[in-house]
Amino acid sequence: MQDHFAEALTAEFGQDVLFGHDIPRRFYNDWAGLPPVAPRALVRPRTTKQVSAVMRICSEFRVPVTPQGGLTGLNGGARPIEGGVALSLDRMNEIEEIDTVMATMTLQAGVVLGVAQRAAEDAGLFLGLDLGARDSCMIGGNLSTNAGGNRVIRFGMAREHVLGIEVVLPNGTIVTSLNKMLKNNAGYDLKQLFIGSEGTLGIITRAVLRLQAKPAELASAFCGCPDFASLLSLLKSARQRMGSALTSFEVMWPSFYDFMTSGLPHLRRALNDRHGIYVLIETAGRDAAENRLLLEQVLSEALESGAVTDAVLPSSERETRDLWAVRDSVSEYGKLMGPLTAFDVGLPTSKAGKAVEQIEAAIRARWPDGIALCYGHIGDSNLHIVCNIPSAGDEQPHEAITKLVFGFVAEHGGTISAEHGIGLLKKPYLKLSRSPEELELMARIKRALDPDNILNTGKVLSI
């Protein structure tokens, strides 16, 4: 049967399918840090019809399929299965249309996010979705994980940017619903089944994204606050005064900010003195002068009230990039630390400060040399934690660290996943954030759409 399976794939795809040792190692894994797995075959389709053909063949032979995009996921969602097929969408990278009247972009799933952002800008529009991995991650992966990122506080999660999608079901059926209208309530909103399902229900191949008016200027400021309570006061004031102009509110605890700026020489420390907590604010306005003036007024009031003890507003695009470089330096952990245990959790914003205090203290108490770096999109209740125990070397106590961190998250009524999905790594802990009834309903949907359990098998749910 396996020989017939290989023959069927080869007959359909020719040189676009590779087997065994011919498969490049980069398709063996994503960024989760799990041991790599060599898939039996790699297919890199160029069209939705070819994706359909892959699924039809794999469904016939009951061979599991792992969809792959930019491979930047952190929970093992794109890690292939031994004996299965890795289906990479990296060749489906065309932007098919930008409609400047409807303010939409129709594109294939393999388009890199940064490419889509620049195409929107060239058309005089703006794509609000933004991630640190913007020049590596792909739209299909962004949608399948319902990615968040830096501007959720203003523009929402990935699903808020989607008007329509095209998806291939596990049996090869193509469902095309490339809606471009803001209002369309004709029956069930089927796209929401697939956005955030991590490729377990269907493979998103094309999408219509909603674009925004291009802001005249994105103004940024970097602030030092004495403590978390002061930071919450600043957030409240910024929301009240700026409204929809507030696009980012990125928070960095000293654990993260001091560690990264002292370890990476190319990062510039914006403030000379040390502070209790740091925040990077970004605003977007139609009038550049008014936008900057509003930001200055908010900071002036915060300085006067004591919510902010020091702040800097960049005077050039280069200075702005320098400020954001610290927040975006998360991709350089490998230069400073060994194997990581990384977390993407959600917490009620008012409780994030206490949770960080508890987590950092607990890590140090159990592992005296432990490193715990905390930062996040606190304006939308998203906290990131990165841990490493230097003395443990390659044998990191991942399970013990995970139980410790998730224990505090559950205690404060949070969620184990804010924007990175579940994949493999978080699957055992999903019950901490979802009720038995919710889990059973998820399983029923999975069984209905993928009765043979061949699509991203073993991810998110155990069925």
DSSP per residue over 196-213, as a string? Answer: TSTTSS-EEEEEEEEPEE
Q: Alpha carbon of 427 to those of 1, 29, 77, 342: distances in Å?
A: 32, 17, 10, 15
C-alpha triplet 329, 335, 405: angle, nearest 5°: 70
Q: Alpha carbon of 453 to those of 31, 44, 70, 83, 447: distances in Å?
A: 24, 21, 24, 14, 7
Half-sphere exposure of 265 (CA within 13 A, CB side): 0
Rg over CA atoms, the chain: 23
Q: What is the pLDDT, as a whole number, of residue 150?
A: 82
Q: What is the pLDDT, as a whole number, of residue 396?
A: 94
Q: What is the pLDDT, as a whole number, of residue 2?
A: 53
| Single pTM value for the model | 0.90
H or E segment and range at residue 413 = none
pLDDT tens string for the chain (463 positions)?
458 999 999 999 998 899 999 999 999 999 888 899 999 999 999 999 999 999 999 999 999 999 999 999 989 999 999 999 999 999 999 999 999 999 999 999 999 999 999 999 999 999 999 988 899 999 999 999 999 988 898 899 999 999 999 999 999 999 999 999 999 999 999 999 999 999 999 999 999 999 999 887 788 999 999 999 999 999 999 999 998 889 899 999 999 999 999 999 999 999 989 999 999 999 988 788 888 899 999 999 999 999 999 999 998 889 999 999 998 888 788 899 988 899 999 999 999 999 999 999 999 999 999 999 999 988 889 999 999 999 999 999 999 999 999 999 999 999 999 988 999 999 999 999 999 999 999 999 999 999 999 999 999 998 8
Q: Where are the alpha helices (DSSP H) in 131-268?
A: 139-144, 152-155, 191-194, 228-242, 254-263
6: its two tokens? 């290989």
Residue 76's CB is within 10 A of a number of other CB atoms, namely 22
